[in-house]
Copies of this chain bind each other. A is one copy, B any other.
Amino acid sequence: MGKEKSPTIKDVARIAGVSSATVSYVLNDLNKVTPEVDALVRRVAEELGYSRNNAARALKTGRNNIIGCILPTLTSPVFPEIAQAVQLRAEAHGYATLVIDSGNAPMREERVVRTLAKHGVDGAVALLHPKFKLANPPIFPMVSLDAKFPGLDSVHADHYAGGRLMAEHAIALGHRRVGMLSGFQDLTSSYERRQGFVDAAAGRVELVWEVNVQLVPQLPPEAVAAIRRREVTMIACVNDLVAIAALSVLKDSGMSVPGDVSVFGFDDMQWASWPLIDLTTIRQPLADLGSRATDLLIARLGNRDLPTEDVVLPVTLVERGSTSRI
């Protein structure tokens, strides 16, 4: 039971009777060697259970084959789905993923970026606060999730179209008086969702009240009060988490859903389909978001001079039990 050092490229070379350079060429698919040597080297490498030392490769090439994935938090119903997709996709490209949660504070985001840099990520997929200040020059390439970001590639769902879809569905169901729990408007996605709704609703639906709320499952007193005034037949929410908070208040107040009031969410997070919740919502393709962002990032790692690209993914209406015709 000796000190089993894991085999190096030199061990492979020695046993195969070639030089280490040849082995390197083979293992990097550089097509520089004859088929016989190629096969021989691969066989020997396989037999020895050789696996490349990433640290050495990183040192030489300056690339670590690691990307970062910065999300506001992991304890949320939506972000882990994105993280999962990023990871899967990155793995397919031969990259590992450092998932890291920023706590949704722009200040902490900047620290997180430095942390990632310290650990040598080649780039990152990030859901950033709009106030985030991009370092200049950028430490590593990033792809912005969920919103355009000046100077970065981005991938996001069509929040504006989603807002319109909500309004149109509300109209189709006969709702004329709607209350809105919108997110704070400094967040691009919250802004666009609201704007889409308002534009499509104009002249056809009255926005009886509106409260800006945090994207968490607890509502501020004004929101609770507004709901309890019973002035509307539908409550349109900036996302599913907020919608669930609204459902809670309604239940507490003895109002039935969708009998007394319909509730509309946004995101289609995993739990929206649970029978206890059963929320009508606008679905954004979370996994696609992650995969596309990862592809974009990897493409950019290959060529930093590409023009920045903004990918917009379509959203869809998912009708469940929390809404009904008036």
Interface residues of A (CB under 8 A from B): 4, 51-56, 58-59, 64-66, 73-76, 80-81, 83-84, 87, 91, 96-101, 115, 117-120, 137, 217, 244, 247-249, 251-252, 270-271, 274-277
Q: Which residues of B contact A74 (CB under 8 A)?
A: 74, 80-81, 83-84
**Further 17 A-B residue pairs, CB within 8 A, beyond A4-B137, A54-B118, A97-B99:** A53-B59, A53-B120, A54-B120, A55-B55, A55-B58, A65-B119, A73-B84, A83-B99, A87-B99, A96-B98, A244-B274, A247-B276, A248-B275, A248-B276, A251-B275, A252-B275, A276-B276
Q: Which residues of B contact A64 (CB under 8 A)?
A: 55
Q: Are B118 and A51 in contact (CB under 8 A)?
A: yes
Instruction: For the complex formed, measure the closest distance between the CB of A286 and the CB atoms of chain B, giving whole angstroms.
Output: 10
Number of copies: 2
Say yes or no: A98-B97 contact (C-beta < 8 A), given A58-B55, A271-B271. Answer: yes
Q: Which residues of B contact A115 (CB under 8 A)?
A: 91, 96
Q: Which residues of B contact A244 (CB under 8 A)?
A: 274, 276
Instruction: For the complex formed, measure the closest distance between the CB of A160 and the CB atoms of chain B, giving whole angstroms.
Output: 27
